[in-house]
Amino acid sequence: MRKKKVLLLVAGFVGCCLIGAYFAIPPVLENLLKQSLTEHESNSVQSVQVSWTGPQRIYGLHVESKHGSADVDIEILSGLFGIVTGDHYSVLVHGDAVLHTTAIDEIAAPQNGSVTVAEEDGKHDTAVFTFPAISVDVQLDTLTVQGDEPLVYSNLLASIIV
């Protein structure tokens, strides 16, 4: 009889903790994500939505750097369960971007003018972590390349599969 009560108490406590975690984890993740996205003063985000069943959404993300800026909405179609289990991730990015020509020059030119090649020593380690499949679909209403004469591209579509 005493074992039944202890078992029932432990099961009730674990059940309450699981239910509490189910409702507490998404808002905590929303706040952490919002804080990490706005670490730099020039970045901002309007809202972040995280849910167990999905999709995960980031609205009104404004990112600025010396290479350009972007105003986008991001949607990850997987739920938290899918993200935790490492399923295939589908990411949709929609918005506008500005790219400075200085960024293109920096990307195109190697930093030190030489390329180093890693030599293989014949040892192959087996990877413990396998990177999940990610497909990113980007739809930019406008992509502006800023330079002496700005170029504006409209309705730019791109798909990237990693």
**Residues 107-133: tens digit of each pLDDT:** 555 555 555 555 555 555 555 667 778
Report if residue 77 sits inside a domain: yes
Report if residue 119 sits inside a domain: no
Report if residue 21 sits inside a domain: yes
**pTM for this predicted structure:** 0.76
Comparing 60 with 103, which gets the higher pLDDT? Answer: 60
Counting residues of the chain whose pLDDT is more than 90, the rounded percentage is 54
Q: How far is CA 16 from CA 11, 19, 80, in A?
A: 9, 5, 20
Report if residue 67 sits inside a domain: yes
| Residue range of the domain that includes 31 | 2-109+130-161
Count of structural domains within the chain: 1
Report if residue 88 sits inside a domain: yes
Report if residue 122 sits inside a domain: no
Report if residue 47 sits inside a domain: yes
28, amino acid identity = V
